[in-house]
């Protein structure tokens, strides 16, 4: 285990969170704290240690989750935004104008931050949850160049954040882009906490979010013991549990390996006939050699049974009419993502049928530039149909959906941002 690996059991927690495991808000706060590296202590509402604090704020379940901040302040009920504010994480931008604004601090955004600020651009990155993006939730990335024994997503993200900040990038967390509009050639950006600033170029690096599983009743139980993705904050709490993971890609495989270290049994549910086409061989080998991971191919979830929490999955096997029930303490759904391109669409960026942002030469058809394009030159590589607005990483049409690819695109985007700035400066 490296110094960067973490779980949700800090030695000296400064923040105390009291609630029920079944609360989606409590999950969001735990995820936010864990992924931002903020130690916290979780106390279940029925634990005797919770009694005095609950009595102080009023014995009312609607006030859960309660968050006790390091200065003793109580938030009841606590939300991610309030906790971020209470921990002093919502500083406003230091400047009113930047050369480059990056929306999303996953691998693509962080790479652009490092290259942009190291090359002298006044750079700001805005992140809705925590730096690292999807990669930050990954237990071990084993195919990233230069790390022969793998690197945890958290370590990669932590190192990148330190590097970007050392070069002068400002990183704002717990806020998302609310609006963007042109102000002359510059872009005016407004964030969800009403902060505003301008940028001469913008990089959209907002990645993807998990695809939804279409099973009746699932939305009612989300955040109780059913989750999209497999956040590191939950692994340690699955000690001796019977965990099910849906999905056949690398993210599902990584989650299975991570949870197998804590859970009594991990069942990987896969619709396809085999994992070979969708999962990297190294993960497949790891899964095959892990005794408490059971892979069920040709299997779909067709129903849920529970009582406010999931208790059993109803499974159907392709080609048979029999249904099987699987006792399950927690279900993690890792079935790929859909692009987070609402901001891009809001500004007028062209997307493909799947919602991915189209860039560069793919916007030009037979030498005809995209509708509304006003410049003499065609869009630069990674530039959208809006001059000065670029896209990189998983959110981009045609991207490879790998860390290295996202990082490469983030770095490349900065080269094209320089070209755009030279153009604005009349170079």
User: Nearest approach, Cβ of 357 to ligand FAD (angstroms)?
Assistant: 11
Report if residue 233 touches ligand FAD, rule: CB under 6 A.
no
Interacting stretch for ligand FAD, rule CB under 6 A, among 61-69, 74-82, 115-123, 397-405? 397-405
Q: Which residue has the tokens 């955040």?
A: 223
Report if residue 135 touches ligand FAD, rule: CB under 6 A.
yes
Q: What angle do CA 278, 7, 161 make, to 5 degrees?
A: 80
Residues with Cβ within 8 Å of residue 27, at least 6 apart in sequence: 223, 227, 233, 234
Residue from 26, 141, 413, 417 that binds ligand FAD (CB under 6 A)? 141
Spell out, one character per residue from 101 to 130, where the chain touches ligand FAD: x when CB under 6 A holds, - when not. --xxxxxxx----------------xxxx-
The residues facing 40 across adjacent strands are 15
Nearer Cβ to ligand FAD (345/375): 345
Residues 328-367 that bind ligand FAD (CB under 6 A): 340, 343
Q: Which of 107, 111, 150 is nearest to 2 (CA)?
A: 150
Residues with Cβ within 8 Å of residue 397, at least 6 apart in sequence: 351, 352, 354, 356, 357, 358, 359, 362
Strands (E), 134-173: 170-172
Residue from 381, 401, 421, 423 that binds ligand FAD (CB under 6 A)? 401
DSSP state of 410: H
Interacting stretch for ligand FAD, rule CB under 6 A, among 18-26, 80-88, 314-322, 401-409? 401-409
Question: Contact, 211 vs 335, CB < 8 A?
Answer: yes
User: Nearest approach, Cβ of 232 to ligand FAD (angstroms)?
Assistant: 10
Question: Contact, 189 vs 198, CB < 8 A?
Answer: yes
User: Nearest approach, Cβ of 115 to ligand FAD (angstroms)?
Assistant: 14
Report if residue 402 touches ligand FAD, rule: CB under 6 A.
yes
> What six digits make up the tokens of 88?
């002093």
Binding site for ligand FAD (CB under 6 A): 103-109, 126-129, 133-135, 137-138, 141, 143, 176-177, 205-208, 250-251, 254, 340, 343, 393-394, 401-404, 406
């Amino acid at each position: 285990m490296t110094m960067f690996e973490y779980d949700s059991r800090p030695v000296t927690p400064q923040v105390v969170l009291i609630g029920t495991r079944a609360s989606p808000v409590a999950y969001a706060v735990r995820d936010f704290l864990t992924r931002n590296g903020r130690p916290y202590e979780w106390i279940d509402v029925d634990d005797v240690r919770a009694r005095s604090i609950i009595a102080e704020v009023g014995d009312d379940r609607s006030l859960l989750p309660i968050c006790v901040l390091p200065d003793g302040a109580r938030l009841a009920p606590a939300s991610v935004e309030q906790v971020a504010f209470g921990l002093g994480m919502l500083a406003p931008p230091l400047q009113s104008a930047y050369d480059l604004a990056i929306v999303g601090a996953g691998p693509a955004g962080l790479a652009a931050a490092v290259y942009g600020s190291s090359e002298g651009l006044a750079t700001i990155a805005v992140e809705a949850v925590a730096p690292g993006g999807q990669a930050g939730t990954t237990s071990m990335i084993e195919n990233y160049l230069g790390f022969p024994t793998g690197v945890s997503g958290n370590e990669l993200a932590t190192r990148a954040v330190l590097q970007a900040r050392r070069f002068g990038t400002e990183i704002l967390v717990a806020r998302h882009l609310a609006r963007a509009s042109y102000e002359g050639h510059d872009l005016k950006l407004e964030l969800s906490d009403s902060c505003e600033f301008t940028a001469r170029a913008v990089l959209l690096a907002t990645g993807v979010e998990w695809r939804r599983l279409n099973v009746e009743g699932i939305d009612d139980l989300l955040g109780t013991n059913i989750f999209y993705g497999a956040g590191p904050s939950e692994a340690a709490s699955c000690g001796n549990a019977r965990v099910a993971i849906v999905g056949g890609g690398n993210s599902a495989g990584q989650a299975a390996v991570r949870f197998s270290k804590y859970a009594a049994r991990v069942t990987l549910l896969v619709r396809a006939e085999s994992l070979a086409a969708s999962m990297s061989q190294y993960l497949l080998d790891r899964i095959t050699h892990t005794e408490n991971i059971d892979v069920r191919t040709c299997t779909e979830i067709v129903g849920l049974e529970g009582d406010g929490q999931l208790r059993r999955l109803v499974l159907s096997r392709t080609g048979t009419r029999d249904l099987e029930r699987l006792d399950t303490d927690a279900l993690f759904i890792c079935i790929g993502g859909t692009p987070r391109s609402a901001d891009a669409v809001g500004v007028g960026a062209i997307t493909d049928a799947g919602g991915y942002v189209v860039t560069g030469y793919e916007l030009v058809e037979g030498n005809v530039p995209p509708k509304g394009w006003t410049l003499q030159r065609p869009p630069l590589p990674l530039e959208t149909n809006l001059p000065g607005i670029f896209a990189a990483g998983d959110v981009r049409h045609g991207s490879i959906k790998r860390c290295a690819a996202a990082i490469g695109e983030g770095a490349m985007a900065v080269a094209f941002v320089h070209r755009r700035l030279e153009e604005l400066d009349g170079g």
